[in-house]
Amino acid sequence: MTTRTEKQEDTVSTTTPTRAPHSDVPTGHKDEGRVGAGLFDPKQLLKSLPDACRKLDPRVMVKSPVMFVVLVGSVLTTVFSFKDPGDWFGWAISAWLWLTVIFANLAEAVAEGRGKAQADTLRKAKTDTVARRLSKDGGSEEQVPGTELRVGDLVVCEAGDIIPGDGDVVEGVASVDESAITGESAPVIRESGGDRSAVTGGTKVLSDRIVIKITTKPGETFIDRMIALVEGAARQKTPNEIALNILLASLTIVFLLAVATLPPFADYAGTHLTMVVLVALLVCLIPTTIGALLSAIGIAGMDRLVQRNVLAMSGRAVEAAGDVSTLLLDKTGTITLGNRQAAEFVPVTGTADAALADAAQLSSLADETPEGRSVVVLAKEKYGLRERSRGELSGAEWIAFTAQTRMSGVDVDGRKIRKGAAGSVMAWVRERGGEVSEDADTLANRISEAGGTPLLVAIEDTEGARVLGVIHLKDVVKDGMRERFDELRRMGIKTVMITGDNPLTAKAIADEAGVDDFLAEATPEDKMALIKREQAGGKLVAMTGDGTNDAPALAQADVGVAMNTGTSAAKEAGNMVDLDSNPTKLIEIVEIGKQLLITRGALTTFSIANDVAKYFAIIPALFAAVYPGLDKLNIMQLSSPDSAILSAVIFNALIIIALVPLALRGVQYRPVSADRLLRRNLGIYGLGGLIAPFIGIKIIDLIISLIPGIG
């Protein structure tokens, strides 16, 4: 990054959606076609039922050890029920075990079904196009199917053409409609060079002519990857998910061994345990609830990101976002609004306010940047100067801003007026034999220390060359940023502002915004060094970027969020892409990652606590007849042993379907410390997991006892 002096050379499209603090959808963003996005739709259950039944394939079920055991148990109880067709208990247990497996598959199918609905919307944007490919020498064109394009090919697109593949603009500038990808109807500008050169296949050119260098193979385009990811086809289990699966498999083996030892004890006690009863006991003891919902929780986490127009290249990235401890945020457009505004005119000693305002407005009439327009408006509103146009000033010579001079201005009516960086304007005055007043440098330093950007205004007329005063440009911090950084601090996340500004300006903005630290006059090497330093301390780092110079840091960060408007290099380096190109989205990504981890932990706590209550339902029912003392454990006073076992199995199945909405929506996230979060989970989901089965099993037992011939 480089320090910006007069112009803020920011090419961020004015159509980039902004997001108010704590909002869920970017303002102006359309959500059409997103079926049940973020919410649980009961109709989706019926729609996903065929997929749930197809998942009964043992080759699919074996990927979830807990539910595979339930599937095997369902087959065994069904076989034994056929041996004794008159045993209603065996048939009832078999039916509810099959429902348990189907309900588990249904949770995953619903999550995948929502992704498929989103994929259908994306497929509408994926069309077979004819590309105008340039010959190697660039002298001629040939029309070829888009599927025949290869990496490195150059294609021409003009107004009305569909861009045939992902690539970078290497020649020209054009307005592009990306609504098929981002949902945002306003067009964006894509141009060669810089950080706004990447284009996506399936989007439409609205104006002008561009030459695109193809950067992806057919079938591996951005849309292809999005479709695969949102459908779940490309989703791989995350390390935490794998670890939890291993834990659940271990618990299943322990309970399997425990149940296998019961028949000898039962025979010794003079009672007999049938295979149906043993299977029912095993299914109720193993952690079926979390085993059934684990995959759905992971899919739903990625789904919540897609709802916010963020494409995660892997579930690992989503999970890493939940463990992030350091957040690197660009200042411009993220913490601040990005467009500096003229806040005041500060004249030097001996200069009238009106004279400075008049000169500042004249020097800004040809300046079409937001800063230049704000100078004209401030002079009009605060000093009553009418807004003049360039056409009114006949014979005026307009001096454009350049990186070399770092000044702009106008020569009119025998006067030369200049506006620009302090050092450049002072040098211009001295070159013309003028003297710079002592307080000019003091005023400029004072504004810099306050976090503003000083622009000096000077004039050369019959009285000689001299500085008239300083324009105070202020970079405005977005509303609510301090509160958001306070929340991140409560979560234990350190925030670091990255900026190309000088240290004085950077410190002032950092203090106003409330970030923990800042990196001023940052270069790509500085960013990389900072990330490595944080990671060396055992921290996970997240950052955003859009330029080729950001690619190394994005690749090094644990969570690298590339802007969709950025270069192909940035998008390839990051493990997430924000389709809205809204840098503040990084804060929400961290919150979604934490919500994923919290949801998984909460439902695991609930599932394990659930099993405790089932012990009190089944164990007394099995042995109370031979060991009357165990009847004291029958605190629910269930009507009969068969009713107790069946009630537990039914509750075990129903609780899965009851928790599907929570698994898909996620546990409500609040920025609290780990200790408070643990107490909250134990209080709500641990205690709730203990109480809910007692109430649920008792209600089911009462219903069963009313059925003639069963109760």
- Considering the domain architecture, whether residues 571 and 611 belong to the same structural domain is answered as no
Give the Å distances, CA to CA, from 233 to 15, 115, 300, 377, 442. Answer: 33, 10, 14, 54, 63
CA separation for the pair 80, 84 (Å, rounded): 7
Catalytic residue check, 330? yes
For residue 78, the model assigns a pLDDT of 93
**CATH number (domain holding residue 383):** 3.40.1110.10
- Considering the domain architecture, whether residues 376 and 437 belong to the same structural domain is answered as yes
Does a structural domain hold residue 664?
yes
- pLDDT bucket at 501, cuts 50 / 70 / 90: confident
- Considering the domain architecture, whether residues 149 and 200 belong to the same structural domain is answered as yes
Does a structural domain hold residue 449?
yes
178 closest CA partner among 139, 248, 108, 226: 226
For residue 457, the model assigns a pLDDT of 93
Range of the domain at 520: 310-335+478-579
- Considering the domain architecture, whether residues 350 and 469 belong to the same structural domain is answered as yes
User: Is 419 known as a binding-site position?
Assistant: yes
pLDDT digits (tens, 9 = 90+) for 144-176: 887 788 888 899 998 888 888 888 888 888 888
Q: Is the pLDDT of residue 20 over 50?
A: no
- Considering the domain architecture, whether residues 328 and 368 belong to the same structural domain is answered as no
pLDDT digits (tens, 9 = 90+) for 506-533: 888 888 888 899 988 887 788 888 999 9
Rounded to an integer, the average pLDDT of 431-453 is 83
Does a structural domain hold residue 416?
yes
Give the CA radius of gyration of the chain: 33
Give the end of a domain, one of 555, 579, 603: 579
Number of independent structural domains in the chain: 4
- Considering the domain architecture, whether residues 58 and 88 belong to the same structural domain is answered as yes
Give the position of tokens 């200049």: 418
CA separation for the pair 299, 322 (Å, rounded): 15
pTM: 0.63
CA separation for the pair 57, 290 (Å, rounded): 20
CA separation for the pair 545, 144 (Å, rounded): 34
Give the end of a domain, one of 452, 476, 500: 476
Rounded to an integer, the average pLDDT of 673-691 is 81
Rounded to an integer, the average pLDDT of 574-583 is 80
pLDDT digits (tens, 9 = 90+) for 397-417: 888 877 677 788 899 888 899
User: Is 332 known as a binding-site position?
Assistant: no
Q: Is 270 exposed, middle or buried (0-12, 13-18, 19+ CB in 10 A)?
A: exposed
pLDDT above 90 covers a percentage of the chain that reads: 9
For residue 316, the model assigns a pLDDT of 76
Rounded to an integer, the average pLDDT of 580-593 is 80
Largest CA distance in the chain: 120
For residue 238, the model assigns a pLDDT of 65
Rounded to an integer, the average pLDDT of 180-209 is 75
- pLDDT bucket at 23, cuts 50 / 70 / 90: very low
Lowest-confidence range among 309-318, 347-356, 383-392, 448-457? 383-392
For residue 24, the model assigns a pLDDT of 34
For residue 227, the model assigns a pLDDT of 66
Does a structural domain hold residue 661?
yes
- Considering the domain architecture, whether residues 240 and 108 belong to the same structural domain is answered as yes
403 closest CA partner among 385, 383, 386, 421: 421
CA separation for the pair 638, 481 (Å, rounded): 56
Cβ–Cβ under 8 Å, residues 708 and 646:
no
pLDDT digits (tens, 9 = 90+) for 588-640: 888 888 888 888 888 888 888 888 777 777 777 777 666 676 667 667 777 78
Rounded to an integer, the average pLDDT of 169-191 is 76
- Considering the domain architecture, whether residues 197 and 237 belong to the same structural domain is answered as no
DSSP 8-state symbol, 333: T
User: Is 371 known as a binding-site position?
Assistant: yes
- Considering the domain architecture, whether residues 347 and 458 belong to the same structural domain is answered as yes
User: Is 466 known as a binding-site position?
Assistant: no
Does a structural domain hold residue 13?
no
User: Is 81 known as a binding-site position?
Assistant: no
Q: Is the pLDDT of residue 243 over 50?
A: yes
Does a structural domain hold residue 14?
no
For residue 458, the model assigns a pLDDT of 93
- Considering the domain architecture, whether residues 574 and 617 belong to the same structural domain is answered as no
User: Is 550 known as a binding-site position?
Assistant: yes
The per-residue pLDDT of the chain, averaged, comes to 79
- pLDDT bucket at 74, cuts 50 / 70 / 90: very high
Q: Is the pLDDT of residue 340 over 90?
A: no
Among 168, 224, 330, 501, which one carries the catalytic annotation? 330
Give the end of a domain, one of 451, 476, 501: 476
Give the position of tokens 């306070």: 486
Amino acid found at 100: T
- pLDDT bucket at 4, cuts 50 / 70 / 90: very low
Rounded to an integer, the average pLDDT of 461-485 is 85
Give the position of tokens 């292809």: 224
Rounded to an integer, the average pLDDT of 573-597 is 82
Give the Å distances, CA to CA, from 597 to 106, 187, 316, 666. Answer: 22, 37, 12, 9
